[in-house]
Chains A and B, each alone.
Chain A
Amino acid sequence: MNSTLFVNIFRFILLLAVQIIIFNNMNFLGYISPYPYILFIILYPVNGNKSGLLAASFFLGLCMDMFSNSGGFHTAACVVLAYYRPYLFKFAFGLSYEYQTIKLNDVLTPERFTFLLFSVLIHHLILFTLEVFKFTLVLDILLRTLLSSAFTLIICIIIIYLTKPNRR
């Protein structure tokens, strides 16, 4: 039980550091940037403490906001993603997801991909909507969301493959 706690704290710090040092400096075409730090919320244990996840993602978002000068956009997006994660599980893996042993950091199956895709889309949509905050720029928001989501998704999958535990 304790080891999962340490793994999560370690993941929190590592993902945040990598996001700030490397991924925040990536800009394709001036506005497409990936946010793979949300892997923390995605990879959090399925049956873990839900209030714990909410609080942790709140602080994750707050740190991101502090480092990128973005008010509370990351915080709001992270909290919403954390809250709706169980519903996304239900959507992607079927009703009885709680009784299965779902491991996300494993080979990519269609279910896992659906879950990743929708998590990333929800997070990015909220993030960019709050960031732009103008209804005249709906197309701009959608374009940014789609392109950045694709980018984030690719990097998330690469990270999952690189860090997936070896089975022997």
Chain B
Amino acid sequence: MQQIFNFIYKNSNRLLFLLLLGISLSLSIQSHSYHRSKLISSANFLSGGVYERINNVSEYLNLRTQNDALAQENAKLRSLLFNAKDTSAIPKLDSLKGVIPSDIIVSKVIHNTFNTHENYLTINSGSLQGVKSDMGVINSLGIVGVIDNTSSNFATVISILNTKSQINAKLKKSNHFGSLTWDGKSTGFVQLTDVPRLASIRKGDTIVTGGQSVIFPENINIGTVDRLYYEDKTNYYKIDVKLFNDMTSLGHVYIIKSKNRDEIINLEKKKEKDE
């Protein structure tokens, strides 16, 4: 017994080191899985609050570009409205249910990273505003990411510039779909893989979100085809997609709250159980 105590006393530093290293490594390994631990994320009270303070100051620096973007989006929506057949008519609701299938929550990016392989954004609305994990985040130009963790007033977003993110996307003109990933190299480009070689693709074609995911509605802009590679082994294309969004400067974003999401997920779970 005495010897055990002696051993612990002698090696107390080493044991402490191993304990702390073990904790940190387990946190690191956990963070590489898709759903991460809630403890270490910038959506908590302390870091979210600090980032909100910092953002309150720094948002003045790019007020002009933000205003321009909002004005442009307004103009676009106005033109849609004026070109509708009857401007006084209220948009039609889904006659079966009487609700619009998706809702939108406005939010603001308060912290943004783009220099690592796994990038996250922090936004200033959380579960109190109705944000839940796995909701889609977009802005006026295109998609931004998917909600990861939420706290009461903040949420973290897995940016599309994250090697873990995988989003269903398709070619706008031909509906050939593939999955959108990022290779971690350039902040302006993401990669679309698994597009069959049958598809005729040209440089400049538009890529939009596909209808297969429950996260994003169909036909939200992503980017244009910049370069085509073609893999001999698999007979699939790999496409470099130039993003419409500048992921390095983001302001206001919209969170998409799909009303049918739970229903679809429950249905698919039921199917899996039956099999």
Q: Is the CB of A51 within 8 A of B115?
A: no
Are B117's CB and A131's CB within 8 A? yes
Bound CA–CA A138/B26 (angstroms): 22
Is the CB of A54 closer than 8 A to any CB of chain B? Answer: yes
Of all chain A residues, the one with the shortest Cβ separation from B58 is A25
A80 contacts across to B, CB distance below 8 A = 21
B42 touches A68 (CB 8 A): yes
Could you tell me the dominant secondary structure of chain A's interface residues?
helix
A68 to B121 CA separation, bound complex (whole angstroms): 9
A114 to chain B, nearest CB (A): 23
Q: Kindly state the separation between the CA atoms of A68 and B114 in the bound complex, as whole angstroms.
A: 11
| Interface status of A69 (Cβ within 8 A of chain B) | yes
Partner-contacting stretch, out of A7-15, A27-35, A96-104: A27-35
Whether the Cβ atoms of A20 and B28 lie closer than 8 Å is: no
**B107 at the A interface (CB under 8 A):** no
Measured between beta carbons, the chain B residues less than 8 angstroms from A21 are 54
With A and B bound together, what is the CA distance between A27 and B161 in angstroms? 15
Tell me whether B219 is interfacial, beta carbon within 8 Å: no
Pairwise interchain contact A69-B27, C-beta atoms closer than 8 A: no
Give bound CA distance, A62 to B110, whole Å: 20
Interface residues of B (CB under 8 A from A): 12-13, 16-17, 20-21, 23-28, 30-32, 36-37, 40-42, 44, 46-47, 50-51, 54, 113-118, 120, 122, 156, 184, 186-187
A-B pairs, top 10 by smallest CB distance, nearest first, are: A71-B31, A72-B27, A75-B24, A76-B24, A69-B120, A72-B28, A72-B24, A83-B17, A27-B115, A79-B20
